[in-house]
Structure 1
Amino acid sequence: MKSLLLIRHAKSSWDSPTLQDFDRPLNDRGLKDAPMMAERLLSKKVHIDGWVSSTAKRAFTTAKLFAAAYKVDAQHISTYQALYHAPPMIFEQVIAQLNDDWKTTAIFSHNPGITEFANQLGVARIDNMPTCSVFGVHFLCDHWKDALSSEVRFWLFDYPKNF
């Protein structure tokens, strides 16, 4: 079995209107929400051994904050520029290439593509993945390249304002 966590980047800052969208940092709430959501996963005994992120600053910073909570060095986060505002097809391509040694992989990316891809999996209907939300599924397969043609089971959905 392979498990996938789709994680939308935490809340980003709009303080600098001249800053390119790709370079926007997290705001104070985002810097607080990311470690909190990582701790929620840890409290549920969710182990992550594969780390993948968009190269955009807000997504990669979110990934680094999650990794820090898991005591994983940021150098273990694989980055894909294509995950920046990626359509579902890019998620499919990235998943098919994941390391088979990874049982559970977290992918950090952006809306609208991350919500579209989560819905495309067909196990739940989500109108919008809020910032720093986590959507998880299990694929009943042994290899990531087979994940999207295997049976998919809903695992979890959580977000910062979900108390």
Structure 2
Amino acid sequence: MITVEPQPSRILLMRHARSAWAEPGGRDFDRPLDEHGFAEAEIVTSLAADRRYRPDLVLSSTALRCRQTADAARRAFGEECGMLFIDELYNGGVETYLEVLSTQKQAESVMLIGHNPRMEEVLQALLGDDRTAAAIPAGYPTAGLAVLDHGGTVAAAAGTWLLSDFLKG
């Protein structure tokens, strides 16, 4: 298992907001947010900005629903927040997500916008099973945003990342 150690020292894990169903003959990749999803994304990212959870960099899957969620983050955090869209996050496994996070050595705080079940698996990898189950007993909600801070200087393993907050729309 890939470990994520500081830097970054804060990770914001956001599942994309609620999406519409695929159009007949349409691709899953092209599913947009639905009306409720647009509202969720705006509410959660605005709340994060109000609480000063402003990331240095936003990393997002290239799927439409993730890009639209990232657009809400850009509006909430401002243009100075860097954005990077990564194709591998669309179908990538938990190892891909962790690898993407572990290579972000230039940013103090990173937001990752992706898909479930990967977001829940990344949270489990960083927090451990028991703390993840306590934080999200019904599973990772759409537009859910976990704010994780590193709990020390030792290489990260389950238990050294702390859940500071969990926001939802």
TM-score by length of 1: 0.85
Separation in structure 2 between the aligned mates of residue 104 and residue 157 of structure 1, nearest angstrom: 16
When residues 91 and 43 of structure 1 are mapped into structure 2, their CA distance, relative to the original with a 3 A threshold, is: same
SS across alignment from 1:84: helix
Q: Is the 8 A contact 1:53 1:60 kept in 2?
A: yes
Q: Which amino acid aligns with 2:143?
A: C
Within the alignment, does 1:83 sit opposite 2:94 as a pair?
no
Which residue of the partner structure matches residue 101 of structure 2?
95
TM-score by length of 2: 0.82
**Any unmatched runs of 5+ in structure 1?**
none
The CA RMSD measured in Å over matched residues stands at: 2.3
- The percentage of counterpart residues that share the same residue type is 25
Separation in structure 1 between the aligned mates of residue 41 and residue 59 of structure 2, nearest angstrom: 15
Separation in structure 2 between the aligned mates of residue 150 and residue 119 of structure 1, nearest angstrom: 10
Q: How many residues align?
A: 156
Return the offset for 1:140: 4.3
Say which is worse superposed, 81-90 or 21-30, in terms of deviation: 81-90
Q: Which runs of 4+ in 1 moved over 4 A?
A: 146-150
Which residue of the partner structure matches residue 164 of structure 2?
155
Which one of 97, 116, 124 corresponds to residue 119 of structure 1?
124
Q: Is the 8 A contact 1:135 1:156 kept in 2?
A: yes
Return the offset for 1:13: 1.1
Return the offset for 1:120: 2.1
Separation in structure 1 between the aligned mates of residue 147 and residue 91 of structure 2, nearest angstrom: 19
Return the offset for 1:63: 0.7
Q: Is the 8 A contact 1:10 1:26 kept in 2?
A: yes
Q: Is the 8 A contact 1:47 1:104 kept in 2?
A: yes
Q: Which amino acid aligns with 2:166?
A: F
Return the offset for 1:151: 2.3
Q: Deviations over 1:113-143 (max 9, x none)?
A: 111111222243234111111012112467x
**Any unmatched runs of 5+ in structure 2?**
1-5
Which residue of the partner structure matches residue 108 of structure 1?
113
Separation in structure 2 between the aligned mates of residue 25 and residue 93 of structure 1, nearest angstrom: 27
